[in-house]
Structure 1
Amino acid sequence: MELPRGMKDFEQKENADIEHVRYHFKQLSNLYGFSFMDPSPIEMLSVLETKSGPAIKDEIYYFKDKGDREVALRFDFTVGLTRYAASQKSMRLPLKLSSFGGVFRYDEPQKGRYRYFHQWDVEVYGKPNLESEADIIELTSRLFDSLLLKDITIDINHRSLVESFIKKTFDSKDPKLVSDILRAVDKIQKKTKQEIIDEFKDRYSIETLEKILNFSQIKGTISQVEETFDVSQLDSWDHLKQLFDSLGNRGVSNVRINFGIVRGLDYYSGMVFEVFDKNSSLGSLAGGGRYDSLTKAFGREDIGATGVAGGVERIILTMQEQKIIPESKQNRVAVLYINEAMQKVAMSITSLLRLNNIPTDIDLAGRNLKKQMDIATNAQFSIIVGPQELEEGNVILHDMINGTEGTISLEKLTEDPNSVLNLEKP
């Protein structure tokens, strides 16, 4: 019995890690005033094509249901949330929505993403304004802070700025040319400059392509970019400067300009951004921007939209690379016993800790100590009940992360069960 290629079962540890990210995301989305909802996992195929065109069929799961309707599994939350927002004729603006859950894509499986994976998502619908964009970026930055991730950079750009440079460089306003070159720029995060030139040189001159690609590799602060390149003639540069000013006012400092960020999807219409771990090769951890054209495609000319989505599995891999211990493990205890005679005391300690809301594990099968330790990997602390220590009224307390070890009296453990979580280094 095999699963379809690209699918997998999510075991206990993976689910615990996903729930860890979900908890922090829901805490923050509530803090920032977002209403949490779960859009339908199945959409009409025509609705999904509204966002990405008929070519989206190659990248998603779609089929005919028993009513002979063409339907598809959601490939993100943006479409469902925007469809919902567009249908709310009397909604109060801005409407702030958030979601967390599984999505399906018929992409080639890769590290950090199977064909079924998890995303978090926040969207703001209302009159287009810079502060809603700053709000989305601020929340994104705070989420990575709350997960204790380090060296996180948020790269920001504006589609109009890149489009204006393309039109100026090619001396053309042809929409097909602009779209084609945007795809070339979008590849700069994944391919070398020479690989992109080789791919596009049959359609455009190498000299012009090099000029575009050199432009797309410009990164830095506002002042660094202005010292590097004359941006005065480019559309939307002032918008980016005002956005950075707003983010600075909010205390968000891990942002920079990156002219290579354009977000490949054609529906983006303004500011765009992506999130990276500077020391990882996993690629983008989250991405978003303004997409007013999508709300218009759903028949709402009166509202704009800006949002962001993040890949949960990639974030978890990044946490593992940075050796970050999820809170679910930080607060977990395993009670171990040397022999069968110690099992009764160990069970009593386990019940005591659980009564005080401390997640606690114990082996029920009477395995030897080595096997108990082998299966206690989900806990940070272990309590070892041994005959010699028990005779003195103590048990061993061991930090399974840093190796610190000491003893704690049963009297203290009974009076203050939370003391098991505060083992001090000698």
Structure 2
Amino acid sequence: MKFDLTPPKGTKDIASDQAKKLWKIIETCKQVFESFGFEPLFTPAFEKFEILSAKGGLGEAVKEEIYYFKDKAGRELGLRFDLTMPLARFVSANPQIPKPFKRYAIAPVWRYDNPQRLRYREFWQADIDIVGSSSILADVECLACVCEVLNKLEIKNFKIRVNNRVLIENLLKPYAGNKIKQVFRIIDKLDKIGEECVKKELEEIDINSEKIMEIITMDISEINQKGKEEIEKLFELASFYGIEKFLKIDLSLVRGLDYYTSLVYEIYIEKENLSFGGGGRYDNLIEILSSRKIPATGISLGITRLMEILSNDFFKKQRKLKFLVTVLENSMLKYYIEICKAIRDQGFICEFDVMERNLRKQLDYANSKAFDFVIFFGKKEKEKNVIKLRNMQTGEEKEIPFQDIRCLSKYIS
């Protein structure tokens, strides 16, 4: 039987350097998140469909956008669409958690989208949320945290678009009426389908597209509506963190999910108009699940997409030196293991041959895997009590006293 060995549609294998990039992003997120006081939370990969489809949350229509299935007992389930609904369920089930509850989660999510460039059906997210605070300070703390992550990853030219759902709803309501949620969902597709297609979809539901486009391109200085003061307060607090330079007001930003209640955000690369994160305030979501009014805000980084745009130069600066210890004599295996252990103890990457190959093939392997140094230790070196160290870029070789294998740094600078 011949198998189709490609990954399922909308998924991908992540291997080698790309996998290392992903883990570097995860490690950086974890380090920064914890420095801001966020704590980890792990939730199941799938949730009860009634949670995922809660009215006012993701809604019944989410069935078309998720991997929906029934288990053998007939229970309706779905792979998680995002990391926010599982958090809302967890908090609803554990209301005694001290507030604010600052949680982070780094995990894959699944959406039954049409796969496109940098858009997958399975992808990783890194989420931070603050539950229990209605203060804009909580929003700015989340924004400052993700800015710190992106600065540490040396992501250039990123901006965070900012809007307020209350403000834009007040502006659009006279023209959208009871179709405001439909209008929001159409506007949310502006970056994906373009202005003309957005206009067409608005006209199809009998909405004055010219007026809508005029409103979402207005300068906020021309506006005097409820919700504007929250944006102004956000910028004032952001200046205390020194992150106001990364923020940009954009009235076309609405975020397509119904559970957002006021401030919303989207992170993007300015020159490429490439989005890789977003979030906002969702003060009613936990109440929908628990009947308890608990405000919350958060933001998510799409780290699968971030992995694709992370500079290779940054990754090269972060990589550890790699050593290969060649096996020249099987009778000397204990020495090769001792050398490897000494090198690893210094924080370097070190391997030795486990394939029982000849020296030429070991060196071919070293070249194919871009090892920085190769170590030779045979009978001649043992007699002289040295190891031979070869720089694989320059070809330079030097002999090092065997006892100095625990302080290699002075020989490789």
TM-score, normalising length: structure 1: 0.82
Equivalent residue, structure 2, for 1:314: 305
**How many Å separate the matches in 1 of 2:389 and 2:363?**
17
**How many Å separate the matches in 1 of 2:70 and 2:120?**
24
**How many Å separate the matches in 2 of 1:42 and 1:119?**
15
CA deviation vs aligned residue, 1:357-408 (integer Å, no higher than 9, x gap): 322234444344762244323x5x3346599xx899863335xxxx678666
1:358 aligns with 2:360: no
Compute the displacement of 1:43 (Å).
1.1
**How many Å separate the matches in 2 of 1:309 and 1:326?**
26
Compute the displacement of 1:181 (Å).
2.5
Equivalent residue, structure 1, for 2:214: 211
Change beyond 3 A, Cα 1:140–1:408: farther
Query: What secondary structure, in the 3-state scheme, does the structure 2 residue paired with 1:112 have?
Result: coil
Compute the displacement of 1:36 (Å).
0.6
Equivalent residue, structure 1, for 2:364: 371
Change beyond 3 A, Cα 1:372–1:250: same
Compute the displacement of 1:173 (Å).
6.7
CA deviation vs aligned residue, 1:109-168 (integer Å, no higher than 9, x gap): 23334322211111111131110001111111111122222222112111112112213x
1:277 aligns with 2:269: yes
Equivalent residue, structure 2, for 1:334: 323
Moved more, 343-352 or 407-416: 343-352
Residues 154 and 273 in structure 1, CA contact (< 8 A), matched pair in contact too: yes
Q: Which of 238, 250, 259 is matched with 1:247 structurally? A: 238
Change beyond 3 A, Cα 1:355–1:81: same
Residue type at the aligned position of 2:364: K
Uncovered stretches (5+) of structure 1, i.e. residues with no partner: 219-224
Equivalent residue, structure 1, for 2:135: 129
Moved more, 364-373 or 306-315: 364-373
Equivalent residue, structure 2, for 1:4: 8
Query: What secondary structure, in the 3-state scheme, does the structure 2 residue paired with 1:144 have?
Result: helix
Equivalent residue, structure 1, for 2:201: 199
Equivalent residue, structure 2, for 1:38: 42
**How many Å separate the matches in 2 of 1:17 and 1:79?**
27
Query: What secondary structure, in the 3-state scheme, does the structure 2 residue paired with 1:100 have?
Result: strand
Compute the displacement of 1:180 (Å).
2.7
**How many Å separate the matches in 1 of 2:235 and 2:295?**
21
Change beyond 3 A, Cα 1:31–1:396: same
Equivalent residue, structure 2, for 1:410: 400
Change beyond 3 A, Cα 1:101–1:396: same
Equivalent residue, structure 1, for 2:255: 263
Q: Which of 53, 70, 95 is matched with 1:64 structurally? A: 70
TM-score, normalising length: structure 2: 0.84
Alignment of 1:63-212 (within 5 A): 63-167=69-173, 171-172=174-175, 174-176=177-179, 178-202=180-204, 203-212=206-215
State percent identity of aligned pairs.
Answer: 24
**How many Å separate the matches in 2 of 1:195 and 1:22?**
37
**How many Å separate the matches in 2 of 1:128 and 1:190?**
32
Residue type at the aligned position of 2:207: Y
Equivalent residue, structure 1, for 2:229: 238
Change beyond 3 A, Cα 1:105–1:61: same
Residue type at the aligned position of 1:211: E
**How many Å separate the matches in 2 of 1:151 and 1:193?**
24
Compute the displacement of 1:347 (Å).
7.1
**How many Å separate the matches in 2 of 1:196 and 1:386?**
68
**How many Å separate the matches in 2 of 1:127 and 1:99?**
19
Compute the displacement of 1:75 (Å).
1.5
Equivalent residue, structure 1, for 2:391: 397
Compute the displacement of 1:349 (Å).
4.7
Query: What secondary structure, in the 3-state scheme, does the structure 2 residue paired with 1:38 have?
Result: coil
Residues 20 and 326 in structure 1, CA contact (< 8 A), matched pair in contact too: no
**How many Å separate the matches in 2 of 1:312 and 1:150?**
16
Residue type at the aligned position of 1:163: E
**How many Å separate the matches in 2 of 1:356 and 1:298?**
51
Residue type at the aligned position of 1:396: R
Change beyond 3 A, Cα 1:62–1:82: same
**How many Å separate the matches in 2 of 1:206 and 1:356?**
64
Cα RMSD for the two superposed structures: 3.1
**How many Å separate the matches in 1 of 2:129 and 2:316?**
27
Aligned length: 394
Residues 36 and 145 in structure 2, CA contact (< 8 A), matched pair in contact too: yes
CA deviation vs aligned residue, 1:5-56 (integer Å, no higher than 9, x gap): 2334443544433222221122122211122111122211010001211110
Residue type at the aligned position of 1:144: L
Alignment of 1:285-304 (within 5 A): 285-304=276-295
Query: What secondary structure, in the 3-state scheme, does the structure 1 residue paired with 2:103 have?
Result: strand
Uncovered stretches (5+) of structure 2, i.e. residues with no partner: none
Equivalent residue, structure 2, for 1:221: none
Residue type at the aligned position of 1:356: Q
CA deviation vs aligned residue, 1:76-105 (integer Å, no higher than 9, x gap): 111111111112232221111111112222
CA deviation vs aligned residue, 1:182-209 (integer Å, no higher than 9, x gap): 2232222223322322332342335324
